Structure 1
Amino acid sequence: MKKNYKESWVKLLFALVFVFGIGATYLIFSNETNVLEDNAPDDRLEIIEPDNTVSAQESILDSLSNLKLAYDVAIFEKTALSKELELERKNIENLMDIIKASKNPSTEQIKIFRKQLSDLKTSLDEKVAEINKLKSQNKNLLTEIESQNEVMYKQKAENDTLISKQKKLESTLKDASKLSLGNFKVTALNEKSSGKEQETTKAKNTDKLKISFSVNGNSVAKTGKRVYYIQVLDQKNTVLGENKLIEFGNDKALVYSFLVGVDYQGKMANVYGVLNNELAKFKKGTYFVNFFDKQEIMGSSSITLE
């Protein structure tokens, strides 16, 4: 009886221990589960994978380097935009220096660099479009100028032809309007005490030389007073008479003996002048007489005195 009682007590004690162990295990497991749940990552958070900033930095630098070359080509065109292009090329160089100096740039810095690169590309595209437009305008303008030059060249050639014809016509009219001289003659005269003049061939009897010529008629020539220059030379080529010098304003000059004037009215006129040798008697020998219309010699004659 005592033995059965002891066994029952042992069984009861074992049952309590078993129940208590299960309860403790449950509590421990429950706490660990709550802890794991509290420490577990929230699936609702955005997982951002970081960019490769080093590769992006090198890519931007390469693009800027190529863009700088493009600016060099545009500047080489030497247009009105060259100054602006040079300024923007300098901005590229400054940006490249900034990027190279940046160590491990942040994602935000990379975005700024890319934005600046894009702006520079856009600006270049706009400038290139404007340069092409200017080149097209210049080409059209050059074509127009060449066309105008061709017209002007033809016009100049026509004008030169007209001027040449006009000069020839003026020269022809000038030649045609000139009065020609003729019938050149030199006569030695001896003046008697009665005043009567008599021709002579003797030097000792010669008191004066009468020099005459005729002015031929010309319907084209202008009418009015004309002056002719007479030059008388002795045996030593000394100019007798007034021996005056006249300059004609074209580096030409003439020493003459006396003047002869005529009022030309479109018809032939006979003209003469007289040379008195007041300083000395006429000497033996030949005297030469030249007739001038200004600086142009119109004819000549001579006389020999015995």
Structure 2
Amino acid sequence: MENQKSSSSLKAVIAVLAVLLVGSLIYIFKVTSDVKTVQTELKSTMTEKESVMTDLQELKATYDAAISENTSMSDELIQERDKVVSLMADLSKSKGDVSSMAKYKKQFFALQNNMKALMAENEGLKKENKIVTSQRDSTVVVLGESQKYNETLVGQNEELSKTVEKAAKLTILNTSGTAFKVRSSGKQIVTDKASRADMLKISFTIAANQIAKSGEKAYYVQVIDSKNNVLGDKKTVNFGDQTLTYSFITNVNYENKTVQVTENLPGKDFPKGVYYVNVFDNNENVSKTSFTLK
């Protein structure tokens, strides 16, 4: 009877041990399986992290290339590129767990969509810029040709103006100086003797000119004797930094027709020698001559 009880107890112990062994084996298998699953998930997560990092690097490279083209959208592109760089820094610091990777992938896709929209807009602007540049270059060529043509016209007009101005100037002809002896009767007798002369007669002709401006003309006449003295009024007039000493002024009402001008210059004790007559239109010497008294 005791042997039977011992045998039953032993069987019970063996049965319990068997159950415990089976339970242990099942637990070990489950733990080993969970570890492998975690390792697989970690490996998969790390691979996904590297993949997202690679995608972000490509995104940044795309922005860098677009920014280097220096378009009107450079500021917007730089802002988006900086967002990519910031996300790369955050991703680099992350542990790469499943929840964080889901967040980073979501942010990456959002940035990628923004990039596609900006790149499309940037390409559109580049095409427009090419058209504008082409049109501008064509305009520059046309303007250049127009400028050359205008410069030619301006040059021709200047030459024409100079020609007209030159043609419009009055020509002084036949300038002469003659000495006279004036008798008490008023009769004037030509003389070439300095000792007999008591008046000089200065004459010149203003030629007809149909394109010259008509109206009052003033000429300064300068008579210089053989001792280099200016005869007559000996007045001075300034033309800028130039000063002219003249013998008299003759005023003429010019009406585009030939005008004979004659002025008398009284005097006494005229010295012998060569006398010089200069006719000035303002400060320009327009005619000159000389005569001699013996």
TM-score higher than 0.5: yes
Partner residue in 1 for 2:192: 201
Decide which of 89, 95, 109 is 2:87's aligned counterpart: 95
Count, aligned residues: 269
- Can you list the C-alpha shifts for 1:9-64, whole angstroms capped at 9, x where unaligned? xxxxxxxx9xxx9xxx9xx9xxx8xxx9xx999xxxxx997362222222222222
Partner residue in 2 for 1:145: 136
Change (3 A) 1:90 1:253: farther
Decide which of 288, 298, 302 is 2:276's aligned counterpart: 288
- Counterpart code for 2:41: P
- Can you list the C-alpha shifts for 1:211-237, whole angstroms capped at 9, x where unaligned? 101112223333322222212223354
Q: Please, which moves more after superposition, 105-114 or 289-298?
A: 289-298
* Whole-angstrom CA distance in 2 between matches of 1:127 and 1:149: 32
Change (3 A) 1:218 1:75: same
Change (3 A) 1:119 1:304: same
* Whole-angstrom CA distance in 2 between matches of 1:148 and 1:171: 33
Q: Which runs of 5+ in 1 are unaligned?
A: 1-16, 42-46
Query: After superposition, where does 1:257-268 map in structure 2 within 5 Å?
Result: 257-268=247-258
* Whole-angstrom CA distance in 2 between matches of 1:140 and 1:244: 73
Offset at residue 159 of structure 1 (A): 2.5
Query: After superposition, where does 1:154-169 map in structure 2 within 5 Å?
Result: 154-169=145-160
Query: After superposition, where does 1:166-185 map in structure 2 within 5 Å?
Result: 166-185=157-176
Offset at residue 245 of structure 1 (A): 4.0
TM-score (normalizing by structure 2):
0.78
Partner residue in 1 for 2:220: 229
TM-score (normalizing by structure 1):
0.75
Percent same amino acid among aligned pairs?
35
- Can you list the C-alpha shifts for 1:138-188, whole angstroms capped at 9, x where unaligned? 111122122222222332333233333333333333333332121111011
- Counterpart code for 2:64: D
Offset at residue 266 of structure 1 (A): 2.9
* Whole-angstrom CA distance in 1 between matches of 2:242 and 2:165: 20
Offset at residue 194 of structure 1 (A): 3.8
Change (3 A) 1:163 1:254: farther
Offset at residue 299 of structure 1 (A): 2.0
Decide which of 257, 273, 295 is 2:263's aligned counterpart: 273
Q: Please, which moves more after superposition, 144-153 or 110-119?
A: 144-153
Change (3 A) 1:129 1:245: farther
Alignment partner of 1:283: what SS? coil
Q: Which runs of 5+ in 2 are unaligned?
A: 31-36
1:214 and 2:202 matched:
no
CA RMSD of aligned residues (A): 3.2
Change (3 A) 1:245 1:83: farther
